[in-house]
Amino acid sequence: MYDDVAGLRFTLEEDGFERFEIACSHEESSVRSFLLGKDGVDEALVLRTCQRYELYLHGPEAAAVLKGLGRKIGVDVSPDSDRLLVGNSVVEHLLRVACGLESGVLGEDEILGQLRGAYKRASEADALGDTLDTIALKALRVGERARTETRINEGRVSLGSVTLDRAREELPEVSGVDELQDANVLVVGAGEVAQLVVKALAHRIAVDDTDDEASLTVANRTLENAEELAAVVGGEAVALVDLGDDHLSAADLVVTATGADDRVLSIADLVGHELVVFDLANPRDVDPAVDDLDDVALVTIEDVLSVRNDGLQQREAAIPAVEEIIAEERVRLAEQLRAEEVDDTLSQIYSRAHERREAEFERALDRLDAESEQLTPEQEAAMRDFSEALVNKLLHPKTTALRQAAATDDRETVDAWLTLFDRTVDEIAVDDVREKSECDAEESTSEADAETR
């Protein structure tokens, strides 16, 4: 059923920054167009996040195209690798992605919105057919069920989010600031932890739907790195050696996350300031004695991790329930796709059969007209209804058997019926062409006879 479905996945964690950037260096629309331009590719879906890049294709050459692309980028696409996904593994993976089970932050909500956006763009670009459209919609449905029926997204587990939650509690008491977007934030460091905090801040501002940019200053030993991180929310950057009392005076919230061996902020640096300070570094950036200052609230990495781990345990406990939902919905998806496959063929059969019936009916009417035995409109309608009912009744037992075989995943029976029906469709088409040729020949003969006479 999923033989013609394939996926290729990249993650920042597994591939590193350089390879990840190479993989997703082109615009989503151009990638879709490129893939759909390949022979044997009928559908394409591109999912890109800040840490994940995945391509999903449907078509007889889907796996071959993605394998070639993976080799060109230089990743392992052998059968032993889970990089290239084929068949059932594609569906399983996408459902897990939608539920947040594959995310760096377990159960994150953002991935569901990102998948919904990817689906919408692919749909608007006519890049989806019945198969990927059905699979993507199922993934969105499963992601919503997981978050509604389990606790997979409850509690904060991102270090950045936990930090900001705690800051929001502390700020009103220390500096009188009620909302994060109203706070002046100073981030010292530009590494992974600092990035998590700044990106979480950017997300909060987007969720709050405010047009204001956060007041953010990033201080770092390498000014270029500070500038790059500050640009995430339109902030400012300063070299660490230039960090002074004026920056601390302007700040309401300070987050330190450097890799320095020595203290970055001493008690002397913070005396006289009203601040909430988060020391997320190991070893510590801030002198522990700062905690004794009346106007400074010091929160350590241990405090933050304690809250984060509580939330993580809560989410991990929900994993079995989410996996049960995935298993249940996979069965429903398989049934749905089998039914759609069967219905597509049956639609062709019924359409061709009724085309043939209508042609024969019109031919019978012509014969009656030739013999001056026209039917009344009521009689003609009754006979047409009779012919339609007769065709439907003749086809009904066969279509019922086919649908029952599809429902029970009796692949052998389904394939046999589909083969038979396809042959029937071909025979009807051949007969139609033959009859049309014969009719054309008869008309030509009649015209020739008339000219001779």
Closest CA to 129 of 200, 42, 47: 42
SS (H, E, C) 215-256: EEEEEECCHHHHHHHHHHHCCEEEEHHHCCHHHHHHCCEEEE
Which of 24, 50, 99, 439 is labelled catalytic?
50
Q: What is the DSSP string of 161-202?
A: HHHHHHHHHHHHHHT---SGGGSEEEEE--SHHHHHHHHHHH
Q: Say which residues have a Cβ less than 8 Å from residue 38's Cβ, sequence separation at least 6.
A: 61, 65
User: Residue type at 336?
Assistant: Q
* Residue 50 falls in the annotated catalytic set: yes
CB atoms inside a 10 Å sphere around CB 184: 17
- Cis omega (within 30 of 0) for bond into 172: no
Which three-class secondary structure state does DSSP give residue 296? strand
Backbone angles phi, psi at 395, to 5 degrees: -85, -25
Distances (CA, A) of 436 to 171, 242, 443: 84, 88, 10
CB atoms inside a 10 Å sphere around CB 386: 11
CA 160 to chain centre: 24
Residues with a known catalytic role: 50
